[in-house]
Amino acid sequence: MAMLNGKAALELQRIRNIGISAHIDSGKTTLSERILYYTGRIHRIEEVRSKTGGGPTLDFMELEREKGITIQAAATYCAWKGHHINLIDTPGHVDFTIEVERALRVLDGAILVLCGVAGVQSQTITVDRQMQRYRVPRLAFINKLDRPGANPDKVLQQMREKLRHRPALITLPIGLEDRFEGVIDLLSLKALRFEGANGEHVVEQEIPPQLLEEAQRRRQELIETVADVDDAIAEKFLADEPISTEELIAALRRATLRRELTPVYVGSAKTNKGVQPLLDGVCLFLPSPLDIPYEAIDRHTGETVQLHADPSLPLVAFAFKLEDGRYGQLTYVRIYQGTLRKGDTIINMSTGKRQRVPRIGRIHADQLYDVEVAGAGDIVALFGVECASGDTFTDGQLNVTLTGIYVPSPVIELAIAPKDRNKQANFAKALNRFMKEDPTFQVARDEETGQTLIRGMGELHLEIYIERMRREYDCEVDVGRPQVAYRETITRRAEFNYLHKKQTGGAGQFARVAGYIEPLPPESGKSYEFVDQIVGGAIAREFIPACDKGFQEAMQKGLLIGKPVVGVRVVLNDGQTHPVDSSELAFKIASMAAFREAYLRAEPIILEPIMKLEVSVPEEFQGTVIGQINQRRGVIVNTTVDNGYAIIEAEVPLAEMFGYSTDLRSATQGKGEFTLEFLRYAPVPRSLQEELVREYQKRRELEKVA
């Protein structure tokens, strides 16, 4: 840090890289629209379900505006009181969870939006867990206080119980529901009202006399909350010394950066109240690039290297999102260290490939504004640079990589084919593009049926891509029935000792591999591990990678129902090499055959995706809905009743959830709502396993006949 000159340090201190995350329909996009309006980035507010035919700035896809949901994370930038804010609005729907993952991977801070009526919901818990995974400090914004049933105190309590947060209330509402008029700032002890056509004028007033006592009590609670985590405030608090606003703000900032507490703001984005104080909070409490320690891994030694947000140091940048837009491929990058100029040559650390940067732009929704240079702390887009999501770029002075993005496994698959054979090229083009843009969208070919399978996070996820194929590539597709993305695994250790020997006219093929396979502990989080225990050159060193490749290839298709095998450790501890007849191909074939030989002895089982289901229904339908869930092999985890609505939390196999929305609507007169999110893989019951194996064998017999 000492290398930074004063001007550069001041500029970096004024940068905020933030994201907005929440449960679906909590008001993220509405809040983003207000932020852009109040910072002068846009001059007219558009609502999520606009009647004028437009739509929110950051929901610029036609599909997003039609459905009233965010599908892709959208980036923009704006300025507030001398601070430069890079903002990413993320989807709330769990099917698009990868968008939240990659945004949080590169952001320094976040705003967690909570509905003032519904409070902490299932997806709130998920996005909060994602923030914890990337150690992102956050503010909370309790939204929709103009709605009937709004209760910010209930939401604060849920934050403590369900999220394990220590909330620190910064603004207090003046009235609730249809009497919500403004907020009281507990730092300055002033009432703030939002006047003008769109609440753009913040008017500071004295606190209404009837609320003064409560405001002083809440400020005292705020000081106590900060004293619990900050020694400087604790000393003054215990000594009964006065604590100035400046000292309180400094302590709140320190505790927020350490993620020991969460400053909480309240308001209603829809009615334009409480957003400007939240922007002040972003500048006061969320980190600048100078406040966050960044680490990279040295590719030679495997050791951790500390990075610094210094424009004068060697370049290190991270590609976190790709988009095939109107300008060709855009690569969204976060610059962690150094400076990037138009025309510079950069090296992709994953491929070793050198590339020139023809164009750099700042992104505002679907628009690109050219810039000549970008420095540490910036989020920009590169045009004309080939890479994959999660690649690291340097200028060649450092040989480091940044840790990648966590990519959840797809849980559902569909067989699709173009209706018109002449559209095959468009079909292939669309699939390639979507796969490149979204790591949770996968494409495979079923070798037995010749079908193209697409895999994703849920029915909506795949539905959106099928619709985009029709609109953007003029390609209508035939869609098969949704299938569950089953997996296979083993339950016990099994040894292998396989000799592959083939003699032809010329050189033959010879390879022997020996060792064992065993289940990986579930907590390892790995799907495959290869352990090389070969000593004394039993297998020549150059053939070991071929063995690893052979085992991995064999695991792509299990022997029970032809699904990928996961959770296996392969230990190779013996073998034999022939001086003439051994080759990489021979060892790869031997490894594949050895795995298959040991697999059936390792007592394989089938795994199915278990989903976390949260259903919200009027209380009178609670019994019916619980009955429905039980019929679908569901396990009820928790039920609560709030404002006449029952919230039922359950764990249900995905295989039983197709068509559930229709059943729920008909059982609750259309009043029931639910969210479904992947939780884990679990063994299928034995009777169902036998049925799945029989079905698979029957299908294979039919295909052989055909």
Residue 585 pLDDT exceeds 60: yes
| pLDDT of the residue at 51 | 45
- Residue 130 CA to residue 163 CA, distance in Å, equals 12
User: 651: part of which helix (H) or strand (E)?
Assistant: strand 645-653
Contact assessment for residue 146 and residue 180, using Cβ atoms and an 8 Å cutoff: yes
User: What does the pLDDT look like over 76-128, one tens digit per residue?
Assistant: 888 999 999 988 877 766 777 787 888 888 889 999 999 999 888 878 888 88
Does 93 carry a binding-site annotation? Answer: yes
CA angle 41, 380, 99 (to 5 degrees): 90
Percent of the chain with pLDDT over 90: 45
Give me 654's structure tokens: 């995905």
What does the pLDDT read at residue 610?
92
- The position carrying tokens 């129902």 is 561
Ligand-binding annotation for 401, yes or no, is no
Residue 61: per-residue pLDDT: 56
Q: Is 59 annotated as a binding residue?
A: no
Whether 26 has a binding-site annotation, put simply, is yes
The residue with greater pLDDT, 363 or 626, is: 626
CB under 8 Å to 27, separation ≥6 — which residues?
Answer: 113, 115, 143, 144, 269, 270
Is pLDDT at 315 greater than 70 in this prediction?
Answer: yes
Q: What number is the average pLDDT over the span 525-554?
A: 91
Whole-number Å distance between alpha carbons of 138 and 85? 15
23 marked as part of a ligand binding site: yes
3: number of Cβ within 10 Å: 11
Q: What percent of the chain has pLDDT over 70?
A: 93
What confidence score (pLDDT) does residue 57 get?
58
205 band by pLDDT with thresholds 50, 70 and 90: very high
> Cα–Cα distance between 295 and 396 in angstroms, integer?
17
Q: 376 among the known binding-site residues?
A: no
Residue 440, SS3 per DSSP: coil
Lowest mean pLDDT among 52-61, 344-353, 360-369, 394-403: 52-61
Q: Is 145 annotated as a binding residue?
A: yes
Average pLDDT over residues 209-216: 93
For Cα atoms 153, 157, 162, give the angle at the middle one, nearest 5 degrees.
145
Residue 623 near residue 645, CB atoms below 8 Å? no
308 a known binding residue?
A: no
d(CA 76, CA 100) in angstroms, rounded, equals 15
Q: Annotated binding residue at 24?
A: yes
pLDDT of 329 strictly over 80: no
How do residues 218-256 score in pLDDT, each as one tens digit?
A: 999 999 999 999 999 999 889 888 889 999 999 999 999
Q: What is the pLDDT of residues 410-462, one digit of tens each?
A: 888 888 989 888 889 999 988 988 888 888 888 988 766 678 889 888 888 88
CA distance 251 to 247: 6
pLDDT digits (tens, 9 = 90+) for 447-459: 666 788 898 888 8
Domain 412-484: which CATH number of 3.30.70.870, 3.40.50.300, 3.40.718.10, 3.40.50.720:
3.30.70.870
Name residue, tokens 């909070």: 281
Contact status, residue 145 vs residue 113, Cβ threshold 8 Å: no
**Calpha distance 112→93 (Å, rounded):** 15
Q: Does the annotation place 328 within a ligand binding site?
A: no
**What's the CA gap between 141 and 372, in Å, rounded?**
36
Among 315-324, 325-334, 478-487, 537-546, the range scoring the smallest mean pLDDT is 325-334
Put simply, whether the predicted model's pTM sits higher than 0.85 gets the answer: no
For residue range 16-73, what is the model confidence (pLDDT) as tens digits? 999 888 887 788 888 988 998 999 888 877 765 544 445 555 555 566 556 566 566 6
CA distance 374 to 311: 9
Q: Is 420 annotated as a binding residue?
A: no
Chain segment 602-615, per-residue pLDDT in tens = 999 999 999 999 88
Residue 273 scores a pLDDT above 80? yes
Residue 445 belongs to what H/E stretch? strand 442-445
Among all chains, which residue has been given the structure tokens 């496994």? 409
83 annotated as a binding-site residue = no
Quote the pLDDT of residue 67.
Answer: 59
End-to-end Cα spacing for the chain: 70
CATH of 488-602, one of 3.40.1160.10, 3.20.10.10, 3.30.230.10, 3.20.20.70: 3.30.230.10
Q: How confident is the model at residue 183 (pLDDT cuts 50, 70, 90)?
A: very high
Query: Where along the chain do its domains lie?
Result: 6-291, 294-401, 412-484, 488-602, 606-687
Residue 230 known to bind ligand: no
What is the average per-residue pLDDT within 147-151? 92
Whether 606-687 and 488-602 are alike in CATH topology: the answer is no
Q: Which residues of 19-28 are buried (b: 16+ CB within 10 A; e: fewer)?
A: bbbbbbbbbb
- Residues 588, 550 contacting (CB under 8 angstroms): yes
Fold of the domain spanning 294-401: Elongation Factor Tu (Ef-tu); domain 3 (2.40.30)
By C-alpha distance, which of 318, 246, 369, 291 is closest to 12?
291
Q: Which tokens is 25 given? A: 């329909």
Per-residue confidence (pLDDT) for residue 129, from 0 to 100: 85
Q: What is the dihedral of CA 235, 240, 241, 247, to 10 degrees?
A: 50
Q: Is 440 annotated as a binding residue?
A: no
CB count within 10 Å of CB 505 equals: 5
Three-state SS sequence of 464-513: HHHHHHHHHHCCCEEECCCEECCEEEECCCEEEEEEEEECCCCCCEEEEE
Give the model's pLDDT for residue 70.
Answer: 59
> pLDDT category, 484, cuts 50, 70, 90?
confident
Per-residue pLDDT at 630 exceeds 90: yes
For residue 233, give the 3-state DSSP assignment. Answer: helix
* CATH of the domain spanning 6-291: 3.40.50.300
Region of poorest pLDDT, from 311-320, 360-369, 556-565, 653-662: 360-369
Which residues 6+ apart lie within 8 Å of 686 measured at CB? none
For the stretch 572-583, pLDDT in tens is 999 999 888 888
Q: Does 90 belong to an annotated binding site? A: yes
- The type of residue at 287 is P
Chain-centre distance for alpha carbon 428: 26
- Partnered with residue 568 across adjacent β-strands are 519, 528
Q: What single-letter DSSP state applies at residue 410? A: P
State the Cα–Cα distance between residues 90 and 634, nearest whole angstrom. Answer: 30
> Is the pLDDT reported for residue 165 higher than 50?
yes
Question: What DSSP character marks residue 289?
Answer: G
- Whether 535 and 514 have beta carbons less than 8 Å apart is answered as no
Contact in structure between 382 and 331 (CB atoms under 8 Å) = yes
The architecture that CATH gives domain 606-687 is 2-Layer Sandwich (3.30)
According to the model, what pLDDT value does residue 52 have?
46
